[in-house]
Amino acid sequence: MTTRLTFGIPVYNGERYLPEALRSVQDQELADIRIVISDNGSIDGTQAICRAAAADDPRIEYHRYDENRGGIWNYRHVMELSQTELFSWMAADDVKLPGFAGACIAALDAAGPEAAFACPRTRLINADGIIYEDLNDLHMGLDAPTPHERVRNMLRAQASHPMYGVIRADSLARTRGVLSVLGDDMVLLVELLCAGKMVLAPGQLLLQRRHDEQVSVQGSGSSTWFATGKRGNRSFAETRTDIELYRGVAHAGIPYAEKVRTWNALGPSWVFPRWRAVVRDVLNAVGIEPNGGRLRAQQQAQTRAAATANQGQ
């Protein structure tokens, strides 16, 4: 039997959540898969966890690097290590429930080559694994017939989680891959949606974890995670994301008229509503911290605490 799917797990100091994340892909109903782990110089118990798992499961390939080359490098590296028809990033703190792989592959096979990737519905969990939100992702419109419609719908929904679905390798090869920008997931999804539609797989089979240590709640300083050794407050991270969205459409192999329509969708769907992000870039560049990341972290922590309290009642 030909192995069709590789799960790529980029990890750095992931000992707290990695065992559950790794077990969730090992327990997929499709036995014939590859699991590639790239350990980006972890200094906690990650190495021991991975070596033990690889010794027990021949499907696991563990790659250890002594130097932390940055999160973007690690995400790109696991993609490069994949040699199968299909690929799926697995965040080291998320959970993919049993049936995830089979549902996504079946959805892609049914949709045909027009579908670039598939993803099931997603729920959010907190640091303790408690579900606190069902994402409103049943009717995102990522299966619309034209690229500009798909891109517009994704940006309006701010739906970054489909990146963790199952992606056709040939569609991924038509993109520039994961770029070293703060909004790398959104840029990649724009390019994927230019390559083809996303098909929704049945079920709520992806659990995305939200916790205070992750990059997405660290504000402007998180840009140093994407570009190791660079000062985050000098990187104009949000502005660069906007620029790369336009470049991503330019890179796409779609007719020029459709490129223009897709470019026109970027402004009202993403760039204009987020003008404050550009202001934050300027403030960061001159040494003023607007506290956007800290406020977002506090708001998300309050939401998770409220959900946990409600579940305990």
Judge whether residue 219 has pLDDT over 60: no
How many Å apart are CA 88 and CA 60, to the nearest integer?
Answer: 14
- 234-246 per-residue burial string, b: 16 or more CB within 10 A, e: under 16: ebbbbbbbbebbb
Residue % of the chain over a pLDDT of 70: 85
Nearest Cα neighbor of 154 from 124, 122, 194 is 194
Cα separation of 64 and 259, whole Å? 41
Pick 217 or 178 by higher pLDDT.
Answer: 178
Confidence of residue 226 (pLDDT cuts 50, 70, 90): low
Which two structure tokens, joined as six digits, stand for 69?
């080359």
* Structural contact between residues 214 and 93, judged by C-beta atoms closer than 8 angstroms: yes
Q: What is the reported pTM?
A: 0.86
Whole-number pLDDT of residue 274: 86
CA distance 36 to 76: 12
* φ, ψ at 11 (rounded to 5°): -145, 145
Q: Specify the pLDDT at position 220.
A: 44
pLDDT top residue among 179 and 294: 179
With contact defined as beta carbons under 8 Å apart, do 194 and 202 qualify?
A: no
222 CB-side CA count, 13 A: 21
Q: What is the pLDDT of residues 21-46, one digit of tens each?
A: 999 999 999 889 999 999 999 999 99
Q: What is the domain partition of the chain in residue ranges? A: 5-211, 216-312
Evaluate if residue 306 carries a pLDDT over 80.
no
CATH 3.90.1150.10 fits 5-211, yes or no: no
Q: What is the per-residue pLDDT across 237-254, written as a single tens digit (0 to 9) for each?
A: 788 999 999 999 999 999
Question: Which contiguous run of DSSP H or E holds residue 195?
Answer: helix 184-195
- The arithmetic mean of pLDDT across residues 70-85, rounded, is 95
pLDDT of res. 258? 98
Task: Say if CB 208 and CB 198 are below 8 A apart.
Answer: no
The model's confidence at residue 84, banded by pLDDT at 50, 70 and 90, is: very high
Supply the angle between the helices 275-285 and 237-251 in degrees, to the nearest 10: 130
